[in-house]
Structure 1
Amino acid sequence: MKFTEFGFSDQLLEGIEAINYETATPVQEQVIPRIINGKDLIVSAQTGTGKTASYLLPILQRILTEEPSDHVKALVIVPTRELAIQISQNLEGFSYFTSVSSIAVYGGGDGNTYANERQALSHGADIVICTPGRMISHLNMGYAKIKHLKYLVLDEADRMLDMGFHEDIMKIISFLPKQRQNLLLSATMPPKIRELAKKILYEPDEIFISISKPPARIVQQVFVVYQTQKIALVQHLLKMHNFPSVLIFCSRKENVKQLARELKRAKFSAEEIHSDLEQNDREQVLSRFRSRQLSILVATDILARGIDIDNISLVINYDVPHDGEDYVHRVGRTARAETDGIAYTFVGETEQRKFGAIERLLGEPVPRGIVPEELGATPTFNPGAAKRSVGRKNNSDKKRRSKGRKPKGSSTNSAPSKQPQE
């Protein structure tokens, strides 16, 4: 379906054409008409399916057909400032030829940033994209003109609940008028999302664009290793191929910091992004990664939700994702925009059971990669026994060390001795 078939205004179509949007994705085909018709919606779709445009475009269209006012008309709540910035940038492109105003509201800025947000909220920016904590700060001050708000969007709702934002979301909703259109978008649909939907949506339509398996054009491989071998394996794989754009996921920011430090020490073009960085530093890192000035980005999974970048040639799951849905979400960051991609997953000795569950959800095993012999002996993949045998693995490691066969790269503070040092 072409975007010209949705009945959008000429100004909106001009913006759509300017950013080279022509054909709607499946989620856009289903979501856009329902939003235009005023329906509440639950949308379950992975990142990369076009769901941001699926709600921004129809909301823009409806605002363009309404009488102008000095009140906020639409509120989009997201889990991270990176995602708020990304959506705001998309919105600026779509609305460039229209009179619709918008602002991204998120923490971490200086006094001038807060003052600009206050002015926009008190004068009624048409669309506000916000993170929960920052928005509550403004609402508590009483100047935000949201009494006539018509559209509420919860994007990445599953991630917001994972981050503990349930109470903040309900607090924000308590300030809003009861009569409004509600849209809930989520990559996954666990029971807690269902409970949230019951509280805030009215007779919603449900749209599921579920990607149960990664796209076929993604080359996947799994490397079964000891945790202490992971850094050396990352360096080996990066040296074997000249990947122009690499995104590495870690589950903990401590792992992000350690891996980024060792990659820099080995002279790779790498930077890190996690919650300890200042906002301006994060934005600069993301900007350099998008523009290919930076080749390798090491990020925590939560923050990576805000990284909407095409043409990533390699994704590495340094830590095993939480579940199958997260696995598909992570590896789906490559092979975007009809390109091919590669996804590597490292399975440590204590992560085998978790990855076994992921393979059961996918319905087939992920092909195994070959760990270089110079990295030393590796564990046997036995997910059923992984949890029970941790103690025995530790004992076997002791025997291996006593025989001089300790796996290389076992230091947690430095790269293996065979890797270049700074």
Structure 2
Amino acid sequence: MVTTGGTTLKDDIMRLYNVVHILVGTPGRVLDLADKGIANLKECTTLIMDEADKLLSPEFQPVLEQLVNHCSRKRQICLFSATFPVTVKDFKDRHISNPYEINLMDELTLKGITQFYAFVAERQKVHCLNTLFSKLEVNQSIIFCNSVNRVELLAKKITELGYSCFYIHAKMQQSHRNRVFHEFRNGATRHLVSSDLFTRGIDIQSVNVVINFDFPKNAETYLHRIGRSGRFGHLGLAINLITYEDRHNLFRIEQELGTEIKPIPAVIDRDLYCR
């Protein structure tokens, strides 16, 4: 069964009267069910954390620590993530004895994604975006901004330029976000403007272009953002709009990820992102 915050407990109680073999949920909701004695996790021998780096951030880690204590002492903990910061290592050292590590990042990181940057002034960004839309063969694109306010403002600008565009961010109601996501996945619009809410676990194969309208502050966010294109062996294009203030972040992220982000050429070969 699936359980998330913002839904009624009554439905969960009814379902947990029956046998449930796998419980998929958000940490706060699962802990709430366990604390209330609705979900008995004493026999739970496997705890899986997808996007472990996010789940073990300071925001969620206290909840996960409590959840672990609800599970069987003979438990297996599995952590999955594209990035493993220090918080994950600390948790692993405390809770997993004799851990086994599988690392596929050498094979998969940024594979199939061509990265460029355009050096622009802040006031030129919308014009640059308009030029990109006219020159690129976009199946679908996700355009990232660094704040909720900028997401909404940019989506309005793109619509005014005559392009179909949706937006999504964390301050929208969950039902509204679900609707936007499903309509975008079904091809109702070509462009989606997003905050970092949308950087993880989103597999939409038709997305072949990711644009960082605002350049991210760290390598982990950059990696997760551009990984929205190039899914399942498809090719993808990542374009970063870089201002003077972003230049040090650009260099640092290149160094940390061991990658090269090249200046954008006058013409981008469609074979780089349209297969």
TM-score category by the smaller chain? 0.7 to 0.9
* Residues 196, 279 of structure 1: alpha-carbon distance in 2 compared, 3 angstrom cutoff: same
Report the counterpart of residue 133 of structure 2 in structure 1.
238
Please say if residues 139 and 206 of structure 2, whose CA atoms lie closer than 8 Å, have aligned partners that are also in contact. Answer: no
Q: Which residue of 2 aligns with 1:352?
A: 247
The answer for the alignment partner of 1:106 in structure 2 is 4
Question: Matches of 1:362 and 1:164 in 2, distance apart?
Answer: 25
**Contact 2:199–2:228 under 8 Å retained in 1:** no
Partner in structure 2 of residue 47 of structure 1: none
1:154 paired residue among 24, 44, 49: 49
Please name the residue that 2:270 is paired with: none
Distance between the aligned counterparts of 2:57 and 2:194, measured in 1? Answer: 17
Query: How far, CA to CA, are the matches of 2:58 and 2:240 in structure 1?
Result: 24
Q: CA deviation at 1:242?
A: 4.4
1:325 deviates by 4.1
How many residues matched?
A: 265
- Matching of residues 316-395 of structure 1 within 5 Å: 316-363=211-258, 365-369=260-264
Distance in 2 (CA, whole Å) between partners of 1:233 and 1:350 is: 17
Check whether the contact 2:45–2:71 (CA below 8 A) recurs between aligned residues. no
Q: Which runs of 5+ in 1 are unaligned?
A: 1-102, 372-422
Aligned partner of 2:158 in structure 1 is 263
What's 1:278 paired with? Answer: 173
**Which residue in the other structure is 1:214 paired with?**
110
Distance in 1 (alpha carbons) for counterparts of 2:109 and 2:262: 14
1:206 to partner: Cα distance: 1.0
Mapping of 1:101-250 within 5 angstroms?
103-109=1-7, 111=8, 114-162=9-57, 164-211=59-106, 214-215=110-111, 217-250=112-145
Q: Residue 124 of structure 1 contacts residue 145 of structure 1 at CA under 8 Å; is this kept in 2?
A: no
- Describe the SS at the equivalent of 2:154: helix
Instruction: State the shift of 1:277 in Å.
Output: 1.0
Contact conserved, 1:331 with 1:343, CA < 8 A, in 2?
A: yes
SS for the counterpart of 1:351 is: helix
Query: Which has the larger displacement, 294-303 or 276-285?
Result: 294-303
Q: Percent identity?
A: 28
Gaps of at least 5 residues in structure 2 are 267-275
CA contact (8 A) 1:149 1:176 kept: yes
Say if 1:222 and 1:366, in contact at 8 Å, map to a contact too.
yes
**How far is 1:224 from its partner?**
1.3
How much has 1:143 moved relative to structure 2? 1.5
In 2, Cα distance between equivalents of 1:135 and 1:364:
39
SS state at 1:189 partner: coil
CA RMSD of aligned residues (A): 2.1
Alignment-derived partner of residue 416 in structure 1: none
Compared CA separation, residues 162 and 345, structure 1 to 2 (3 A): farther
1:294 aligns to what? 189
The structural deviation recorded for 1:370 is: 6.1
For the structure 1 residues 172 and 363, does the alpha-carbon distance in structure 2 shift closer, same or farther, using more than 3 Å as the test? closer
Q: 1:349 to 1:245 in 2, by over 3 A?
A: same
- How far has the Cα of 1:262 moved from its partner? 1.5
